[in-house]
Amino acid sequence: MARVTLRNLAAHKIRLVLTAVAVILGVAFVAGTLVFTDTMNKRFDDLFDRVGQNVAVDVRSVKVVDSGGPDDSARPPLRESVLATVKNVPGVKDPVGTVDGYAALVGKNGKVVGTGQNGPPQLGTNWTGDGIARLASGRAPAAPGEVVVDKASAKKAGYAIGDGVTVLVKSGPQRATLVGTADIGDMMGATLVAFDTTTAQRLLLKPGYYSEIRMGSTGPDEATLRDRVAKALPSGTEAVTGAKLRDENKSAIASIMSFFRTFLLVFALISIFVGAFIIFNTFSMLVAQRTRELALLRAIGAARAQVTRAVIGEAVAVGFVGSTLGLLAGIGLAELLQSTTGSGGSLTFTATPVIWSYAVGIVVTVVSAYFPARRAAKVPPVAAMRDDVALPQRSMRIRLGVGSLLTLAGAALMGLGLFGHVSNPAVPVGAGAFAVFLGVALLAPVISKPVVRVLGWPFARLLRTPGRLARQNALRNPRRTAATASALMIGLALITAVNVLGSSMRSSVESQVDKQFGADYVIEPTGGGGLSPELVAKVKKTDGVTAAGAVYAGNGKVSGKRVAYSAGDTAEMLSGTRAKVVAGSAALPRDGMLVDEDTAKHNAWSVGSSVPMLFPDGRTETLKIAGIYAKNDFLGPRVISEGAYLAHTANPSVEVIIVTAHKADAATKHALEQSLSARPDVKVQDQAGLKADARKQVDGFVTFLTILLVMSVIIAAVGVINTLALSVIERTREIGLLRAIGISRRQLRRMIRAESVVIAVFGAVLGIGIGVAFGAALQHALRKEGLNVLSIPVGTLVTYLVVAAVIGVLAALWPAWRAGRMDVLKAISTE
């Protein structure tokens, strides 16, 4: 039977190559993701090993309140006196205080190097001669007005050693001289600006303070030295070994890369799931076309198990070849991902991508081919003596029952995840979506008959005979039509759901801006450093401005749980956000707090309630509820006074500045922009600008997800080509008879193109319908998170229908050309 398997592979090369394309694309996605994330993990591991190679002990403040992210921004800074203390501990070698903060380099073109809020970090630090940076050229900064910049950023900005440069920090632009460049390894486009220690403290942190203190050892092991240092430290500080510091840094990056890997693998698995439909369809058709051949094998003594193994052997071969080519394509994809992230260097190869590539490719192919193989084994030997033999088909009743059950169960699981109280809603939602797709795919043959009749009607009217034949061909084998359409359905369903969700996000944000944005302008940073409180005074002096208030953001702990709050000029905040106080007073004393209705109800608070809040500096302050306001997405759930925030924050940072003007016109906006012209990392926005910015962010998110899902649509298009090509071969004699009775080549090609369009549009109709339902369910589940407007992008969905029709036309080009070139006499004589 091995020879039979090899002969069949050689006899159906083109058909199996098309099938392998589905495997190649899916495996490439998996392999590329794994190779890229392995490379990034290895690169960051090497970086942190390099950073901490001489660190035996690290001293830092205790993190009382988590910032909600992987960084250490929630740790209060250390006083310089701590450095003097650790210098006297026996065994300590070369202790040094480090200062970390935000510093952005402005290029000669006046633009900030880097890509703003969503781009790579813009790091400011003090030069210590150790850590991330190594001097590449020039010298270290030794006085105020001198800086070292990483060599990649210096090149992007157009600077050479000795040039005057502009550096943006939270307090404003700083002029300095570039005295050296640094090698910081591969940090995926991050920029680094290093000052002397005194200047770094003044500009990035606070005079007389360090972010942390690192030291080596003169002999004691890390654990022993850590214990010695810990005994000498004041309360509120801690000492950790260098090994723990390195592990923490690696763990933080590993968690980010793990999320990124999982995120991409989800889309890879969607592509593979779509490919499974194509593989199943292809092997089903191949088995159907070889019914007589299989019957002959049974007649000459082949057992059922041998026939099954022969077909499975073909699947293994296709899976192996597809996995191999997919792995190679995945390496290219990893290179592409690396280049788009601004990262260079060679890729890291481990056994993991290889193992998973072959496991996924071969297993999916074999599983998809298993049922056609079982069906092939059931062909009776007597069938070899008949001309009209066909494979037995199961009753549609079983499909109808199982499909209905899966669809209902999937909908129930999705409802549980979206509306129920479960610890991890992603699991039931994902399982439910998978069940719904399987259920609808099983129901598709039943659905296809009435829908295809409707979709094929225009072709029957316009194209007459070719159109009627196309509709009948699509109806002839509803299982085949459904399997081909289901592959396209899955991709378009997910794309539609993403677009419905994106459109709802845009509409919800615009609605929130209209209802809750009462200020004339908002000033916010485009980088990650925040704004200095002193900038508020400058804004107030701008012509046309009547009032300006700072808004801060912070975290604290209430009843042991981390909570977020806003702080600032309460009057300006309430006015600028159109917040409505429903109980108590809007006047907020130094020890007061405002909360929204949901927060008050959840905690059983009322006006006058006392709430102990633990701040990041380790101190607890009891705040009294002064007022309760209606839910406001701009304010958030809590507001505390500016005085309370500043009392517990060593390095205050303004998130946004709310501005009210005499007249909100172009002249006032221009005056504000001129007043802030020295800050290219700051933008001024009015209501229209806020909406446009929100639309841009949502559109970018939707586009990114759509691009990832397009892979599944490409695989589905390959499936349409494969199905039509095999269908043409299957109907060779029929096509010859049609040509013999007078149908022209042009009419024949029209028939096949029309059939392809009907199948593609049927898949699109199913997908868009399911996608709208998924998107509406997600929007409903996220209403409390601010997604309170359901918006269905009808124009976009119509475009998708047109695109599906175009896919149908393009997919039919080769099969139609092949059918048109058939020799009539040979086709008629084909058995």
pLDDT classification of 816: cutoffs 50, 70, 90: confident
Tell the residue number behind the tokens 């299989």, with chain if given. Answer: 294
Cβ–Cβ < 8 Å for 117, 526: yes
- Give yes or no for residue 73 having a pLDDT over 60: no
pLDDT, position 697: 86
Greater model confidence, 236 or 250: 236
- Give yes or no for residue 768 having a pLDDT over 80: yes
Tell the residue number behind the tokens 């404003």, with chain if given. Answer: 172
Q: What three-state secondary structure class fits 90?
A: coil
Chain centroid to Cα 458, Å, comes to: 40
> Which one, of 635, 678, 685, lies nearest residue 664 by Cα?
685
112 pairs with which residues across the strands? 106
Chain segment 403-416, per-residue pLDDT in tens: 889 899 988 888 88
pLDDT, position 744: 87
Lowest mean pLDDT among 326-340, 536-550, 760-774: 326-340
pLDDT, position 52: 67
Alpha helices in 162-241 (DSSP H): 197-204, 222-232
Q: Residue 273 corresponds to which tokens in the numbers above?
A: 């799931």
Greater model confidence, 732 or 455: 455
Tell the residue number behind the tokens 């490719």, with chain if given. Answer: 361
> Which one, of 765, 637, 67, 24, lies nearest residue 321 by Cα?
24
Angle at the Cα of 474 from the Cα atoms of 279 and 463, rounded to 5 degrees: 135
> Within 10 A of 303 (CB to CB), how many other CB atoms are there?
12
Cβ–Cβ < 8 Å for 22, 487: no
Q: Residue 145 corresponds to which tokens in the numbers above?
A: 């007005």
pLDDT, position 177: 96
Chain segment 393-439, per-residue pLDDT in tens: 556 777 788 888 989 998 888 888 777 777 677 678 778 888 888 88
Lowest mean pLDDT among 507-516, 672-681, 720-729: 720-729
Rounded to the nearest integer, the mean pLDDT of the chain is 85
Strand segments, DSSP code E, in 196-266 are: 209-210, 212-217, 237-241
Q: Which amino acid is at 382?
A: V
Greater model confidence, 432 or 457: 457
pTM of the model: 0.80
C-alpha–C-alpha distance, residues 763 and 769, integer Å: 10
Q: Residue 734 corresponds to which tokens in the numbers above?
A: 């029929």
Span between the terminal Cα atoms of the chain, in Å: 24
Burial zone of 798 (CB within 10 Å; 0-12 exposed, 13-18 middle, 19+ buried): exposed
pLDDT, position 118: 55
Chain segment 372-396, per-residue pLDDT in tens: 887 777 777 765 555 555 555 556 7
Chain segment 793-812, per-residue pLDDT in tens: 999 999 999 999 998 888 88
Angle at the Cα of 733 from the Cα atoms of 729 and 734, rounded to 5 degrees: 95
Please compute the mean of the pLDDT values over residues 588-598 and round it to a whole number.
93
DSSP code per residue over 591-641: TEEEEEHHHHHHHT--TT-EEEEE-TTS-EEEEEEEEEE---TTT-SEEEE
Highest mean predicted confidence (pLDDT) among 422-426, 571-575, 715-719: 571-575
C-alpha–C-alpha distance, residues 285 and 258, integer Å: 40
> Which one, of 753, 542, 767, 762, lies nearest residue 657 by Cα?
542
Q: How far is CA 654 from CA 147, 228, 229, 442, 524, in A?
A: 26, 39, 36, 56, 9
Chain segment 296-351, per-residue pLDDT in tens: 777 777 777 877 887 888 888 888 988 999 999 999 888 887 777 666 667 888 88
C-alpha–C-alpha distance, residues 191 and 138, integer Å: 18
Q: Residue 339 corresponds to which tokens in the numbers above?
A: 């280049």
Tell the residue number behind the tokens 């009015």, with chain if given. Answer: 686
Domain ranges of the chain: 52-240, 449-516+688-831, 521-685
pLDDT, position 70: 47
Name the packing angle between helices 2-11 and 13-51 (round to 10°).
Answer: 100
- Mention every residue, 6+ apart, whose C-beta is less than 8 A from residue 559: none
Greater model confidence, 417 or 116: 417
